[in-house]
Each structure stands twice: as C-alpha cells, then as structure tokens.
Structure 1
C-alpha cells in the first residue's frame, strides 16, 4: 500500500465495540470507509436468546456485542453517524470467526480495555493474520505505546502507532498520533494525513509518555483546581464559575467535567502519571487526592453513578433539580449561583485574554482573583516544563488543549494574553521556579511566544532558533491572519470583505453570534457592488463558533413592540434585497457554512451558486419557532426548490415535503443530513475537513469562473397556487384537530402555506420571485403584530428555548 495516499485506505477494522470502539467505527464509516467491527464471543446467553432457542454456537449470539453496538448507533445521542444509513458500511463480527478478515483491511484500530496485558495478547493474535504493510493503531489514552507491541516483529512495530481519539469521536476534533522509535516515519505521516484529510480531525504528534499531551495537562489542571479550591475555601459552584467560560474553558468547567469523565477514571489517569514519573514534585502533585478517594469509595463516581460533585434529583413539583456537593461535609445541598464584581467584569470583558485579565486584575486581593491566578500560573509553568517531553512544539501543546479540552486559548497563547514578561516577573517574585528556556527566551528580547507579521503567525522555535513561521496546511485559510496582513477590502462593524488571493474575496460576519443586522446587510450590498466591478468571485464564510444563528431578533422585537411597522417592513425589504443581490450577482458565489446555520444564516446561503457544507452543519429555517416565517427569501427559495424538483410534473409532493421542513422548523443533524430535510440542492456538497471549507469554497469559485460563469437567470417560478395552498392548510388543520399543534402554530402554518404555494395564484401559474418576496413580507409583518409571536420572540431571547403557546 502506498504510504503517501490516504485514498488507498478504503477498508478498516475496529477491534472493541464499546463506547470508543463503536464511536471510532461510526466515524470511519462517516468518512466513507467499509468497516469490520469485531468483539469477543459472549460466554453466556441472554434470556431473550434462550427464548428464541439460540445457542452459544449461533452466529447472531457469537457476534452479538458488535451487532448490538451497530444497532445502537441509530438511536445514540449524540449521534455518532452523520447519517443513519452510514451504518450500512459497518459489518459486525467476532474475534474468533472473523479474525481472518483483518488480513483484508488497510487499517486496524484497536479499542479494547485499557490493560497492557490484554492489548499485548490481542496484538499477538492480530499479527497471526496481519498482512504486511497494513497499518495498526491503538486508541489507548495513556499506556506505553512501545510496551504494547513488545515481542512483535520488526515489520509489525514499524507499522504501529497510537491514534488517540477523544470522546465522542465524531465531535471531538483532537486525535493524538503517538509513534514509537520503531514506527516508520511514512506511517506516522499517513496516519496524520488520514485523520486530518479523511476524518476531518486536528492532529498533534505526541511523544510516548504517560497520558500523552491533553490528558497529562488537563488532569494536572483539574488536580490543581481541586487543591486550590480547597485552599481558598471555594464552593464547587464558585470554582466552576471561575474555571469555565470566564477562563476561556467550556461550561462544564472543572467539577462538572470530572463528573462527566468519572472520578474513578480520573484516579486511574492520576495513578498512571504518578507511577511512571521520575520527578518528585510531579509525583507529589499526582498523588491521589483524599477527597476523590473518599467519593469513589462511597460510590459517588460522577454522572454514571448518579452523583459526584453534582447530582440531579426530583424536585417537590416533579421537575428535576441540581444539587452540589459541600466539600467540607460531603453532603449535597441546592446549587447556588455565583455573583460579584469580579464575575461581572469577566463577563463584560471581550475575548478570553480580556476575561482572564479581568478575573485576576479587577480585585487582585480577592480570593477569586487569587484562586484564578494560582490555577492558571501553575498550569502554565507545568506546561512549559513539559516542552520537549510530551511534544516538540508549544503549538502542539496549545492545539491539544484547544481541541481535546475545548479551551479557547492554549497555555502558551494564554500566557501571551496575560503578558509574558509581566506574569513571569510576578511568578519569580512569588518564588516560583520558571523553566530556564522561558527565562532565556525573554532575556533574548522576546516578549511573547507568538507574533503576527504580514499575515503570518510566527511561534517560538526552541533551541535558540528564534521565531519560526507557523505551518498551515495548503487547505487552511486564516481570515484573522489575512486581516492582520491588511487584506481587508471593506468593513462595517459587523462584517468584513477579505481578499483571499487569486481575485477572490470572502464576506465574513463577525457580529455577536454572527446574527444578521443592518450592518451585515449593508456589507452584503456593498460587497455585491465591489465584487461585480473588481473580483472573480465571492466566498461567504467565517471563523466564528457558528456560521450564523439568524437575524437580529432583539431589534425586530423592539420595533414590533413599539408599533414601528414601517421600520419592520424596511428591515425585511432590506434583508430580501440584500439576499437577492447575492443571487443576481454576475460573479460566482459559494457559501461555506459550519455548525449552527439557522434562519437568516440559511437565507444567506441559499442564494449562492453552490453551498459547501462542513460535516458539522446544523442547517434549518427555524423562524416558526419564534412565531414567524422565513422572510429574507427563505420561504421563496423553498418554493423555488419545489418547482425545480417537480420539473414539468406535479409540484405538490415536493411542496408538501419542504413545507413540513419549514413549518416544523426542522434542522439537519449534520452537513450530510441537509438532504433529508430537503434543503440540499444537486450542486451542493459536503467536505469532511471543516478547516478546509474556506479554501475549498475558494477553489469552487475559481472553477465556476474558469468554466465560463454566467449568472443565474431571473426565471419565473411555477407555483401550486390556491389548490396547493388548500392541501397544505388541510394538513395544518389535521394537526390542530389532533392536538399536535396550537392555534397559533396553525396561524403561522396557514400563512406559510399562503406564501409557499404562491398565494391565490392559479395552479401551475408562473410568478416572479419578487411576487413571492412580497407575500413573505406581508405574512411576516402580520405575524409580528401578534402578541403570541412577540411572546415567543421574547422567550427565545431570554431563555434560548422556543415557547409553544
């Protein structure tokens, strides 16, 4: 097998069908591979198997574990598959009857129990049928890579490494590739390319040390947080409030994360580092915390046992309530909220660096500030001490923590944000031992680990080599770096037009939550004029957490509550005309959405000539959830799609399906799933690697341009008309009679039916797109005037959840 082509890996096998094994098998299937999933043969029959007259020799019993894992994939949440049909790419078997099947695959992934003896024994069996040249990897989270394959042949060891996926494999970006001194360099390169290009992962190459990179530092950070929290007398809630989003970390923060991981699992990781460490200070830090031992001994393991640092109970009114652990008495009590000037300052600050500086600097003598400083300081120093030990570069350490633990900034990026020289001076003043390489780096006149010059990010290179340009894949385009290099063509407060090179520009949203408001609409109109005059084409994409969560709902609600109907209509007309300017542009337009792409975000994509979906794209016209209908061209585009799919035939079936999608506010569960809800067009496609979406969209623009692009003709739209509307409204009425929707839902549905069917036009009539936009606007305005719609809008803004009234 060629070691430089990821496309040669078409068939894979996963050994172990537990949570991780099944998740990895599902994601390999997501990537289009044929997967053989194997597990051990059960030693006893289940009661239902006995009732069916099966025996231990029955094939369905012998492969029961893997078969059950595949069956669970369709119902599991979060879903491991991009599309349920992908389960058909997985064949379930067992390690006795189907072991020989390993000789027919291109990649074998082991994901069995974390015991060295079990893994060694398994690899001995694997090698008995191993086809020379096949790559083999283990999903261990921290066992010695070299020790797992002791006794195996030289050829086997040369084709072996660790590929440590994080759970759940579909959603977590990080894969740590860990070679040994025996692993052939081309095998490491192929595994890296496979995980990045085929699986869409972010890869860091780690050294064969206990718990590798992310778990090593992440576990240390949790232990430090526990230790410092007890020292400063903080509650569980206080520690989590300070070590969550306020510190650029996930909402799960520390103690909630420990509950999710499992306290017994954490102790296992702690033991693994301590037992293999030769550093006395590290061994002391990784001593088993008595509090954790006490909780584990009492059966409080976290979420899997029903309680750890938090637990969920039934409240007096039947609903669920969350209690937290009192760290002194170890009794549970009602969870409390944490407030104060420091918390408020962190929430108000912009960016992770600003938030952390607010935590530490707002009131430096407060216990919150002291706790935050101590936990951050110790984690930074520990990370610095491990450079060259767990990874060769600080960028790999930063990436591992961002991708594996969802930190907004890695340790060295955070150190820069705090101010490297200032923070090191404070550390030295407090008697901390700062790694010599950090002191030397500062003494050489360097004030940060990273710096940006002419659009490129440079990073500490180590070994007296100064800064080196950070390597980016040719498939990655950094909008931030391009803006830093002065490649911004035009800008409003909420959007920028950025030169991507090759006469292609990218329209980037950067408002709060990337919600579409007046500034973005202005930018769209200005962009259309600019691109038409001076550029080959346009990409619509951004680097935000989500592509776009919709329109600025607060602005619409305020205008509606004030009865400013002319203002509301102006907003809608501006929204419609802006989206129409994209559709009518005489240059190719390609949209590249990712993650949440809702309401107005969808309406910003549908006018494009092509949409390139990231695999994790949650795409849907969700306006009915706030009592409205899509009115930025979304309802019109649904009618256009129904007509296109009907060709010259019956529109009604296609209209019915799209009406259901919009009326029920259906959202895709992945980029691949957009087709299920009917919003994917023939020219649209999905790419596996989210990081490549902007580069791929740029390539698509250039390809359309090279092919001799001609703008979309302003065609008339054939509609179902009043008879089609009657069919849609009959369906709405049936749902109302069945108690499945409320009267207000029915009102919304009837107005949507009027728009999507083309109003009172004759069946089969051809209407202009502007006619449909006028219907959209009229329906939207009338719904804005409804009190129940305003209640829905208000509820969504205050809770983030839809109200069914």
Structure 2
C-alpha cells in the first residue's frame, strides 16, 4: 500500500513524547498528543473540562520552553492538539501513524495497546519508542494487522537535534513497513535511520553505554578524575564537548544505570558483561538523587560563588564531595591539539607515552574488542554500528572507522599483547588479506561484510558524489581546497574553511578549477 503521513498521534507526553510531537509538527504534520487524564481537583475545587488535559498541556508547555528549542519556529506548535486517553483515544481512528511513548512498563504499554486496537483503523502504522523492552514482546497478543504494522522507532533525545532513528522490526513486521519507515525517517524527519535487531538496548545504547561503563572502570583502575576523563574524551578525539560525565548528567544518571542493568540482566552471554556492573559510588549517587541535570546535580553541580557568579563544581568520586573544576593538562593531548586532521590526531594520542596515551590505548582496545563481538548479534552490517554511534552519540567517526585509522592488523596485535580479545571474524578477515573495514574503489566507499567475507558498496552510495572518496584522483590543492578529477571530464572542488567561508584560498581554488576545466 502507498502510505502518506498527514496526521500523527503521539501517546505519552513526557520528555520524549512531547518533543517527538514537536518534531513532527516542525515538518508540517498535524499531531495529536495524548496522555493520562489528570486526577480530579480536591473536594470543593472547580473541575473544568480542560483540567483533564493538565498533564499533557503542562508537559507540552515545558517542552516548548526547553533549551534548545524543540521547534524551529513557535508557530509549529499550532499543529499540535492535546487530549487525554479517556476522552480522545477514539480520535486516533483518523490518524496515519500512532507512536507510543508511555512509561517503560510492559503492563502499561500493553494496556495502551488494548485501547489503541479498539479505535485504530486497519493498516495504520503503530510503533513504540521504547528503549528497554523487547519489541516482539510488546506485540504479543495483538491482532495480525497490528503485528504486521508494528515495530520499534527509537528516537534519541532531543529528537530535533540528535539525528539517529533506530528502526527495530519484529518477525511479524511487514517488510514494506520497515522500508517505508527507513525512507520516511531519512527524507522527511531528517534522520539517519539505522535498521537494528531486536536485542537489548538495540545498537547505539548498547555500544554507547558500554563505552561509558568501561570508562568508569578505567577511572578506578587508573585513578582518573572526572575532569581528566572529560578532557580526554571530548572534541580532541572527535566526540561532543559534553564528553563522558557531562553526557551522563544530560542523559540522566538513573537512565544510564537502568540501561546498564538491563544489558547485564538480559545479556548473560555478553563477554564483557561485568563492565555493566554498577559501581558502588554510582549506586550511591542514585540513592542520593544526584541524577544529573534533572535534579540539579550529578557529576557536576551549578552553584553561585561568593561574588554571585555562577560556578560549576565537580564531584570527587572518592570523597563524594563537590569541589572547583580543575583543568588538567597532558603532554600528549597538548601536542595533538594543534593537529586539525582527526585521523592523524588519533594516531598521535594513542601513541602517547604518558598517562593520556595509556588511557587512549585501553579506551580504544576495550571498545574495539566489544564492537567486534557485537557482530552479528546486534547487526549483520558493520556500517550500521558506525552510523548509529555518529548519529546517536555525536561521534565524528564511527568505532570501526577509528579502528581502521589506527590500523586493524597492528592494533589487533597490540590488543592481544595487552590482554584484549577480538572476535574470530576479524582474524578471518585479516587472514584473507583484507586489512581494513572500509575501503574506497572507483569513487565508492565499500564496507567489509563478515557474512559473505567480501566488500560491499555502502547503501545510497550511487545517489551521491562524495569527493573525499576521490583522494587518489587529486589534481590540485592549497591550504583550504582540494580539486579532484571525478571522471567524465568533470572536476570537483571541495574546501574546508570555518563555516564554509570564502576567502583568498577558496577564490584561488575556484579560479584554478575554471582554468583547468577550460584547458582540459
């Protein structure tokens, strides 16, 4: 069937639900945002019809006021209508896509689906934004039409800014539904859509939370501070400014703990399962309700100094007390910072002979080992893991691509010497003479496919000309530009200036491109 999405119903108006509603409204879709009805006012209070919508209206108002804004322009909010499950669930009959975003409890989600089945018209898309409950379990007991049109659609918070949308089908999901969602998320929602297997935490959270938990282990092992770890794991290695501990505060420490516990409980065969054991100091933070931004303090705490100015304090994990932030300095990091090329910078950081260099080696070796064992458990394709981490966690390059940068064969040997293991398929790849996970051929980027033991062109590669794939066809360059021979008598000019600004180097590149094109 040919689908057109004109109306979307979002069930659940919490932090994710309200912001997902805003994102759809921002692309021009009519949205119905529903939540439970507010309890009646105290005896003697006046109950107006609108009072039943207090929960959903308050949630939407909080989302609109949040920073960064969930919409490009406030006028988009006019496309959102609010209501409650008691009075307005019947209205979903006229909607094209129903997205469930209620609390992460199976019994509550199933009770919502019972109501949905009463009013949903056959063929309507029904998806869940769950991050912790197996998708196939959610659809158990539902009608055949419900199952056929049901799957997971896992947005990342905030939906307007984080590009990842994980699509998680069940064995009963119609393949045409998966194809539609993969395309719609990309074309209309502006997402990097990643097809995932129905495994605990899917792809991005499985790898991302492992990375954070493994870092917690390194903190204890190497005696690192919060400020040191965040200085080592931010933009210098191609990660967001929020690095590790600041990211945990933004996401919510309780959320991080919940995902980690979920993986530990539901992945008994995970070779790195012990990494997901919650450290005593982290459990203490949850007990203290130090959950990050949502409670006003976590690994960091905002206060006012004696002069009235805002000050950010850092938690000392050993004493559980807050103190002034300390800007750490590492010789390896200071030497690498001036290097613009991330690939070269990573090589220098991992070769460092100080504490930072030792950290980077352990950090990458553990990550590389973990991702190798997740194929084919969470994904059959390597590139999906990298796509998920770049779009969901803001990494500049994916984990497998980072492994390529450091040299797969060389790193595997170093990993073994340091006590780290890799999955058998990596050894098989290397033994067959395949030395990297990605490679460029004839202007196309290919990725190694462990199942066929061969390289395959990345999907969508035929739709675009990616000039960085023509490094072997470099015609000319200066400090800001690269000119490539794209074939068929076509030259391509690419420049790398801040904000794409056009200065002397770029003007020289444009003129040189014209001259060479006219001569040839």
Pairs within 5 Å for 1:99-114: 99-114=89-104
Aligned pair 1:445/2:433, yes or no? yes
CA RMSD after TM alignment: 2.3
State the SS of the aligned residue for 2:425.
Answer: helix
Aligned pair 1:466/2:454, yes or no? yes
Decide which of 27, 30, 37 is 1:34's aligned counterpart: 30
Pairs within 5 Å for 1:61-210: 61-72=51-62, 74-210=64-200
Aligned-pair distance for 1:177?
0.3
Decide which of 361, 373, 377 is 2:365's aligned counterpart: 377
**C-alpha distance in 2, partners of 1:332/1:513?**
38
Tell me if the contact between 1:204 and 1:400 (Cα under 8 Å) persists in the aligned partners.
yes
Match of 2:407 in 1: 419
Match of 2:471 in 1: 484
Tell me if the contact between 2:272 and 2:370 (Cα under 8 Å) persists in the aligned partners.
no
Rg (Cα) greater in structure: 1
Aligned-pair distance for 1:161?
0.5
Larger relative contact order, structure 1 or 2 (CA cutoff 8 Å, min sep 6): 2
Aligned-pair distance for 1:404?
0.4
| More displaced stretch, 377-386 vs 282-291 | 282-291
Match of 1:495 in 2: 481
Pairs within 5 Å for 1:270-419: 270-279=260-269, 281-363=271-353, 366-419=354-407
Aligned pair 1:16/2:3, yes or no? no
Aligned-pair distance for 1:410?
1.0
Deviations 1:303-345 (A, max 9, x none): 2222211111111111111111122112111111111311112
Match of 2:504 in 1: 518
Tell me if the contact between 1:26 and 1:81 (Cα under 8 Å) persists in the aligned partners.
yes
Deviations 1:203-255 (A, max 9, x none): 11011111100001100100110111111111111111111122221111111
Given the superposition, is the C-alpha separation of residues 102 and 501 from structure 1 closer, same or farther in structure 2, using an over 3 Å criterion?
A: farther
Match of 1:263 in 2: 253
Aligned pair 1:232/2:222, yes or no? yes
Aligned-pair distance for 1:403?
0.6
**C-alpha distance in 1, partners of 2:181/2:497?**
38
Tell me if the contact between 2:40 and 2:52 (Cα under 8 Å) persists in the aligned partners.
no
**C-alpha distance in 2, partners of 1:475/1:459?**
17
Aligned-pair distance for 1:504?
7.5
**C-alpha distance in 2, partners of 1:369/1:412?**
20
Aligned-pair distance for 1:519?
0.8
**C-alpha distance in 2, partners of 1:470/1:369?**
33
**C-alpha distance in 2, partners of 1:362/1:190?**
47
**C-alpha distance in 2, partners of 1:214/1:513?**
29
Given the superposition, is the C-alpha separation of residues 512 and 381 from structure 1 closer, same or farther in structure 2, using an over 3 Å criterion?
A: same
Tell me if the contact between 2:352 and 2:358 (Cα under 8 Å) persists in the aligned partners.
no
Unaligned runs of 5+ in 1: 536-805
Pairs within 5 Å for 1:380-779: 380-472=368-460, 475-481=463-469, 483-484=470-471, 486=473, 491-496=477-482, 507-512=493-498, 514-526=500-512
Aligned-pair distance for 1:401?
0.5
**C-alpha distance in 1, partners of 2:6/2:231?**
46
State the SS of the aligned residue for 1:20.
Answer: helix
Tell me if the contact between 2:471 and 2:484 (Cα under 8 Å) persists in the aligned partners.
no
Aligned-pair distance for 1:511?
2.7
- Give the TM-score of the pair, scaled to structure 1: 0.62
| More displaced stretch, 394-403 vs 235-244 | 235-244
Aligned-pair distance for 1:102?
1.0
Aligned-pair distance for 1:195?
0.5
Given the superposition, is the C-alpha separation of residues 436 and 505 from structure 1 closer, same or farther in structure 2, using an over 3 Å criterion?
A: same
**C-alpha distance in 1, partners of 2:463/2:132?**
31
Aligned-pair distance for 1:78?
1.0
**C-alpha distance in 1, partners of 2:274/2:330?**
34
Match of 1:579 in 2: none
Aligned-pair distance for 1:137?
0.6
Aligned-pair distance for 1:489?
6.6
Aligned-pair distance for 1:493?
2.4
Deviations 1:757-800 (A, max 9, x none): xxxxxxxxxxxxxxxxxxxxxxxxxxxxxxxxxxxxxxxxxxxx
Aligned-pair distance for 1:523?
2.7
| More displaced stretch, 418-427 vs 302-311 | 302-311
- Give the TM-score of the pair, scaled to structure 2: 0.94
Tell me if the contact between 2:438 and 2:445 (Cα under 8 Å) persists in the aligned partners.
yes
Aligned pair 1:60/2:50, yes or no? yes
